[in-house]
């Protein structure tokens, strides 16, 4: 007996609606993005709810070093630009960057096996001035949730509650 299959075939357009962190493959930085639909540490496993790739803007991202150390950051630009700047900091040995400082002080400049993931994003329906504040709130929330501000495997130096203060 032959029946209709419930297995869905995804077109390229439909694939873009699947939540997770993906690579477009067109940029030098794409290989540094981990393809995944979840992230976390120490048994905490968070699911991604947005489709993102290297061209996604207004994101909070997670850098995970090959040793397990993590850094949470934010950017309004496409993720590929922010990754490029992190890689430029490593190339130029800019020790003011938390990621670069870790890579050089702990791993002698080797970042092989490390990767980036988008863990949250904002959509453009929020007014411009509010986007900056919302991004900072999201970044602070994820720094807290992932404990990257105080643990031995955290690369964020502090929590910034300024975005939550009433102005």
Range 148-154 contact pairs with CB under 8 angstroms and sequence separation of 24 or more: 148/70, 148/71, 148/72, 153/41, 153/67, 153/68, 153/69, 153/70, 154/69, 154/70, 154/71
Which tops the pLDDT comparison, 125 or 64?
64
**Residue 86: both structure tokens together:** 């992190």
Query: What does the pLDDT look like over 105-164, one tens digit per residue?
Result: 999 999 999 999 999 999 866 555 688 889 999 999 999 999 999 878 899 988 888 878
Confidence of residue 64 (pLDDT cuts 50, 70, 90): very high
* pLDDT for 164: 83
Structure pTM?
A: 0.85
* pLDDT for 79: 95
**Residue 26: both structure tokens together:** 């067109």
Query: What does the pLDDT look like over 79-100, one tens digit per residue?
Result: 999 999 999 999 999 999 999 9
């Amino acid at each position: 007996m032959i029946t209709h299959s419930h297995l869905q075939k995804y077109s390229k357009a439909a694939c873009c609606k699947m939540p997770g962190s993906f690579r477009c493959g067109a940029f030098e930085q794409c290989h540094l993005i981990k393809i995944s639909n979840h992230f976390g540490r120490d048994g905490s496993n968070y699911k991604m709810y947005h489709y993102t790739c290297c061209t996604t803007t207004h994101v909070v991202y997670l850098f995970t070093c090959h040793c397990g150390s993590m850094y949470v950051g934010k950017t309004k630009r496409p993720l590929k630009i922010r990754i490029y700047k992190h890689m430029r900091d490593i190339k130029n040995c800019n020790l003011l960057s938390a990621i670069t400082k870790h890579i050089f002080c702990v791993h002698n400049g080797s970042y092989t096996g490390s990767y980036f993931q988008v863990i949250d994003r904002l959509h453009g329906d929020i007014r411009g001035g509010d986007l900056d504040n919302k991004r900072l709130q999201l970044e602070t929330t994820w720094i807290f949730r992932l404990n990257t501000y105080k643990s031995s495997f955290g690369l964020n130096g502090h929590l910034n509650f300024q975005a939550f203060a009433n102005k």
